[in-house]
Amino acid sequence: MAHFESNLDKELDRVKSLVEDRMENLLPEEIDGRIGENRLARAMKYSALAPGKRIRPFLVMESSKLFGVSESCSAQVAAAIEFVHCFSLVHDDLPALDNDDERRGMPSCHKKFDEATAILAGDALLTYAFEVLSHESTHRDAAVRAELVLAFAKATGPNGMIGGQMIDILSEERDLDIEQITRLQRMKTGQLFQVSCESGAILGKASRMLRNSLRAYSNNIGLVFQITDDLLDATIIKNDDGSERVNKSEEKGTYLSVMTVEKARSQAQILTDQAIEHLNPFGRNADNLKSLAKRILDRVN
Specify the number of domains making up the chain.
1
Q: What DSSP assignment string belongs to 253-276?
A: TSGGGTS-HHHHHHHHHHHHHHHH
- pLDDT given for residue 105 in this prediction: 85
**What is residue 262's predicted lDDT score, i.e. its pLDDT?**
87
pTM for the model: 0.91
Mean pLDDT by 10 residues, the chain (301 residues): 69 96 94 80 96 96 97 97 97 94 92 97 98 96 98 96 92 85 91 96 96 96 92 71 60 76 91 97 96 90 55
Degrees to nearest 5, angle at CA 182 with 163 and 170: 45
- The region, left, alpha or beta by phi > 0 then psi within -120 to 50, assigned to residue 233 is alpha
The domain in which residue 215 lies consists of 2-28+35-300
pLDDT for 222: 94
- The residues that bridge with 237 in the sheet, in sequence order, are 245
Chain centroid to Cα 91, Å, comes to 15
Question: What CATH number does the domain containing 239 carry?
Answer: 1.10.600.10
Residue 270: what pLDDT? 97
